Amino acid sequence: MSNQQPAVTFEEIRALLRNLPGPDLDSGTAALLRERQLTKPAGSLGRLEELAQWVATWQGQHPPDIRRPRVAVFAGNHGVAANGVSAYPQAVTAQMVANFQNGGAAVNQLCEAADADLRVYELDLENPTADFTQGPAMGEEECCRTMAYGMMAVEMGIQLLALGEMGIGNSTSAAALSLALFGGEAADWTGRGTGVDDAGLARKIAAVEAGLAANPQAKDDPLEALRRLGGYELAAIAGAILAARVARVPVLLDGFACTAAAAVLFKADRRALDHCVVAHRSVEPGHSRLLEAIGKEPLLDLGMRLGEGSGATLAINIVKSAVACHGGMATFADAGVSGREG
């Protein structure tokens, strides 16, 4: 990550949140009207029909088009990992980034299957965030700079953005963020992540509790929660989601950590994630609770908990299929098929 990112402040981010573009109702209505004319019983393609309308609404065009999907994976390291909250050492973050770059990870294969462009963003892996059990993970300028970096990942021409992350310790960060944003108990949000044993799970829960105790201000403001309890990759994801909204790019969110980053924006403005669909339900127990809190129903539930954008990438083909049916099917009039009577 370059140190030459544009200067951004929390006030500027709050102003952006107050002025997010809304849905393109004309495009959404055009999609709905076409859907009613296609050669099938109304509603028979279920969520595929909703997805086609969602893409049209947030792209601001009809018919929708997703020939150029992008997968963006942000990687960062967490100071809280020093508390023994992961089954893997922090060096694995950089090793997995190298694996992404060499084409050897699951997300690489899923991108190939979806004909999607993969971009991997390293966020100062040699310098983790501070340990949030002792104080804020990031300063405000640091958090804002990282959000700005994430915004720059939304380049012109992208038609669908799938977001993911890599970072040892980030399920602990996601649990702490979720607790700060939505309340409850640390144990409600904390799971086994990379597969920690009972002692490791107890350390994770203790770290989440200590994080909230050391950063009580995190409960008062979602951006403060992000900087105090989040990580570089989570801040970058939040920035990318905002930039995608401004650029009219629909977004697929991955699992628990990715959704926790997005939830920061939801807590600031309940409409901030309207252009986002959650791709899958993670096995991580906090994810179901988080999905309920932000009012999102995931597309897939396959028992996955890998991260690295794998669930979001897998869902690209579902969205592509929805758009293909919407644009390619004949209407009743085109096919000479009798429509529904009455």
Two tokens, residue 125: 């892996």
**Phi, psi values for residue 331, rounded to 5°:** -85, 165
| Catalytic residue status for 12 | no
Q: C-alpha 294: how far from its chain's center?
A: 12
Euclidean distance between CA atoms 127 and 253, whole angstroms: 26
Of the listed 49, 224, 284, 308, which one is catalytic? 308
Instruction: Yes or no: say if 284 and 256 are a contact pair by the CB < 8 Å rule.
Output: yes
In the chain, the amino acid numbered 30 is A
For residue 165, give the H/E element and its range.
Answer: strand 160-166
- The two structure tokens encoding residue 132: 């949030």
CA distances to 43, 56, 113, 262, 293 from 234, rounded to whole Å, are 36, 27, 26, 8, 18
Segment 303-307 long-range contacts (CB within 8 Å, at least 24 positions apart): 304/255, 304/280, 305/255, 305/256, 306/106, 306/255, 307/164, 307/165, 307/166, 307/170, 307/254, 307/255, 307/257, 307/258
Q: Report the distance separating Cα 90 and Cα 208, nearest Å.
A: 18
Contacts of 149 (CB under 8 A, 6+ apart): 1, 2, 5, 121, 123, 236, 239
Q: Which residues are catalytic?
A: 308
